[in-house]
Structure 1
Amino acid sequence: MAEHNDQGRLAEELAAQWLIEKGYELLEKNYRHGYAEIDLILTHKKLLVFVEVKFRSGTGFGFAEEFVDYTKRKLIIKAADQYIYEKNWNSDIRFDIVGVYRNKTGAINFKHFEDAFY
């Protein structure tokens, strides 16, 4: 697997653990429907939360939230619709982005964008 894929999977693991520590309950990782994938699906305060995780080793090329474009959002929403149907979810939902950033010293920081799109 390419190094960027390994970094992406590690970022997803770190983001999941960070969200769990904030009181979220993890339901699924890497849920797929057709060409769409949702990195993390969690519940929090009676919400079903779909999370796109983006890793950045600096911000020179932009911030995490800038890399979830229209096409990516539409794919995530399509997969979320299928998940909602499969689980017969009848409560509120939310789409979040979690940016995982590694600074020059190697320290990991998170930036959470709640209700980032729909």
Structure 2
Amino acid sequence: MADHNEFGKLAEDLAAEYLKKNGHTILTRNFYYQKHEIDIVSELDDLVVVTEVKARSYDTVIEPHEAVTRKKIRSIVVCADFYLQEMNIEKEVRFDIITILPDEHGVLQITHLEDAFQTYDAN
């Protein structure tokens, strides 16, 4: 497995553990629908949380969450809609982004952006 794939898996594992420690129940990871994917689907109280994980193993010019483009948001929303229908879930949904970046000492730092797609307009 390529190093970036291994780091991506590590980042998703860290994000899932972070969510669990913060009261989430993980429902599924890496859910696919056609060409779309959701990294993590969790439940927090009466809310379904769809989380996109973005990580970089190096310092970068753009923040990882800035890599979540309108096209990517649309893809996640389509996949989430299918997931909710497929699992027959009728709950409010929130879309979050978790970013994972090393600090100046190489220690991985987690940032949780709740309701990250709030300004998303599907049109």
Structure 1 length-normalised TM: 0.94
Distance in 2 (CA, whole Å) between partners of 1:14 and 1:106 is 15
Establish whether residue 103 from structure 1 lines up as the match of residue 99 from structure 2. no
Structure 1 residue ranges (4+ consecutive) displaced by more than 6 angstroms after TM superposition: none
Distance in 1 (CA, whole Å) between partners of 2:115 and 2:49 is 9
SS in 1 for 2:61: coil
User: Match for residue 68 of structure 1?
Assistant: 68
Establish whether residue 114 from structure 1 lines up as the match of residue 114 from structure 2. yes
**Per-residue deviation at 1:58?**
4.4
Structure 1 counterpart of 2:3, one-letter code = E
Unpaired stretches in structure 2, ≥5 consecutive residues? none
The alignment of Structure 1 onto Structure 2 pairs a total of residues equal to 118
**Per-residue deviation at 1:65?**
1.2
Distance in 2 (CA, whole Å) between partners of 1:77 and 1:38 is 9
RMSD, aligned CA? 1.2
Distance in 1 (CA, whole Å) between partners of 2:17 and 2:63 is 21
Unpaired stretches in structure 1, ≥5 consecutive residues? none
Distance in 1 (CA, whole Å) between partners of 2:50 and 2:86 is 15
Q: Over residues 16-58 of structure 1, what are the superposed CA-to-partner deviations in whole Å (9 max), with x where a residue is unaligned?
A: 0011001111010100001111000000121000000000234
SS in 2 for 1:43: strand
**Identity of matched residues, %:** 38
Structure 2 length-normalised TM: 0.90
